[in-house]
Amino acid sequence: MLIIAINGSPNAEGNTAMMLRTALEEIEAAGCEGYFMQVSEILAKVKVPYCIVCSNPCEGKCYRGTPLEEAYDLLRRCDGIIMGSPVYFCTVSAQLKAFWDKTRCLRKDKALLNVVGGALSVAAARFGGQETTLRAMQDMMFCQGMTVVGDGFIDNDSGHLGACAQRWAKDDQDGLKRTRILARRVLEVARATASLRAYRT
């Protein structure tokens, strides 16, 4: 099992990154491989960091030979994705949206079909737009044909849509608890659905 944590925050050491690294601790504690992906650093090395539909269907020519191609190649072999974003005006960061918009080539190849996804978010306020941000990330994953997980029900509750925290995330013990539960849920479903991704090997 390979689970990738995608950090949509431009801050590689901020609250969202802290939550994602907490999730990866759970993945690695279960004996699986985890990988942290910082999208702002990847996009900084691409000439045009947002999709302009330079080819249709997408050929990936705008990012060929760049770290973005390497990132997408890694996504092609993952079993699960935990996507995280801070709240920017009730939705995801521009960096995360730009990164995901360029995954059109992955969609064409059905590369993320049946990959398991979970979402987490953090905001400055307790009720600061986290759930609308989670829904935006889930919609992005649904468009790739991914299997998206949410609540594990009352005895294993990651939050109805995913894990939410309030800044500062390191002090939000409830948010971190739900982050760990979300990681375990993603891994649980990824293990149960491994045969659905056998076509990629």
Q: What CATH number is given to the structural domain containing 46?
A: 3.40.50.360
pLDDT score for 54: 87
CA 45 to chain centre: 20
Tokens 């431009």, residue? Answer: 10
For residue 9, give the nearest of 137, 186, 127, 156 by alpha carbon.
137
- pLDDT under 50: residue ranges of the chain: none
- Domain, as residue range, for 106: 2-200
Domain count, the chain: 1
Structure tokens at 95: 């960096």
Exposed/middle/buried for residue 107 (C-beta within 10 Å: 0-12, 13-18, 19+): middle
pLDDT at 154: 65
**Cβ 99 vs Cβ 8: under 8 Å:** yes
pLDDT given for residue 160 in this prediction: 83
Pull the structure tokens for residue 101: 């918009």
pTM over 0.85: yes
